[in-house]
Amino acid sequence: MRPFPFRPLFGLALLALALSLGTANPANAKVFSPETFTLANGMQVVVIPNHRVPVVTHMVWYKVGSADELPGESGIAHFLEHLMFKGTKTRAPGEFSRTVARNGGTENAFTSYDYTGYHQTIARDRLEMVMEMEADRMTNLVITEKEVEPERLVVLEERRQRTDNHPSSILREQAAAVQFYNYPYRRPIIGWEHEIHALDLGQIRAFYKRWYAPRNAVLVVAGDITAAALKPLAEKYYGAIPTGTVPPRVRPEEPPQSAAREITLVDARVHQPSWSRTYLAPSYRHGATEQTYALQVLAEILGGGVTSRLYRTLVVDNPTADVAGAFYDPVAVGPSLFGFFARPRRGQTIEMVQAAVESEIARFLKDGATADEVERAKKRMQAETILARDSLRTGARVLGAALAIGQTVDDVEAWPERIGGVTVEQVNAAARAVLTQRGFVTARLLPKESS
């Protein structure tokens, strides 16, 4: 079983790792060194020059996701993502994708709790073409019953393939519903099946009109381009769109949690049991935000790879598990999760694995991290993904996600310095703040015993 994050989009763990770019002097390090400007209608624009090949990645991020859906409309953000590939007032359904493919490009989209993104990777000399098409569907999408009903079947089939056919995905969905009492992260991004069936044309059109506007969008272009070259194109296509009105993001607060919960899924399709535990934690935009950098270092120390405490203890020194680790992702508008996962070795039990992880947590809370552990963790984090600068997509995704949740470019660029400034005392304080909570959720995935 993979780690048990509550935002299972294109690998947001990669976003946290991709921010781990280090240099010889982390205090003065920068990450992507982007160029930025804002259009008159409020659309933010970020350019990440990379002239190694004549290719660009073009991304438009909307500051809306499934957590912004109204009650009873779960899945509407993802449903609209599908419909964005249909026709506009000037283009036939499917023409967008066919045009990109004919010109040697690739394109796709994704929906998260907090944002929705559309992206294309294509030759530099075809950038203007995709900008014109993307700007067109920002406000000119044509949504009809003829398009909605067949796409509803596609979404339902996607739900069956990605969730209903995989016990681990079912467990993640059920555990999220248990983890949050009130916050909308408790609903699946793809939506509950019965609410997907009930979504109607009026609701989808209203959601599109409410949230899809330039002032609620971020344009990120990475590759063989400069801000000076991009700005005239951005003004021509995106700048010509009226600003529009966008409502504030209103999210309910999560009430205090004082009781531990346990959820168990038994399924005949499970071949090997797995275990996880998750605690509510602050994010970059919610709660005790000052703890987020220390929590990232804590996750690295406890479960960030083969040198981590959990791996050494449970997999190497006292073989109880095949896999063991920790995870934490602060890129969110609402509360995040700090979690642990493990898979028992053959001949061991879920109870043994749970006891071993609990023992390691208790030992850490009692003794804390050492100065050497913290320094080594910070250096690993700063050095681990230095090659991310070579990727057209990584920088666009990191910066797009950051701006979509309300961070700034400076927040991203200051990541190495902020990680480098984390102290032993901060790591230990963050551990006590998060790992002593009583409202954690334990999830177990078990095989069905043969009769």
Report the distance separating Cα 322 and Cα 344, nearest Å. Answer: 6
Q: Which two tokens stand for residue 267?
A: 């399924």
Report the distance separating Cα 382 and Cα 17, nearest Å. Answer: 9
3-state secondary structure of 85: coil
Alpha helices in 103-261 (DSSP H): 127-139, 145-159, 167-179, 193-198, 201-211, 227-237
The answer to whether the beta carbons of residues 21 and 416 sit under 8 Å apart is yes
Report the distance separating Cα 410 and Cα 165, nearest Å. Answer: 42
The helix/strand count (H/E) of the chain reads as 17, 11
3-state secondary structure of 384: coil
Report the distance separating Cα 63 and Cα 11, nearest Å. Answer: 18
Residue 413 known to be catalytic? no
**Which residues in 372-392 are b (16+ Cβ under 10 Å) and which e?**
ebbeebbebbbebbeebbebb
- Virtual torsion, Cα 387, 392, 395, 399, nearest 10 deg: -170
Question: Which residue in 69, 73, 81, 300 is the catalytic one?
Answer: 81
Kindly list the catalytic residues. 81
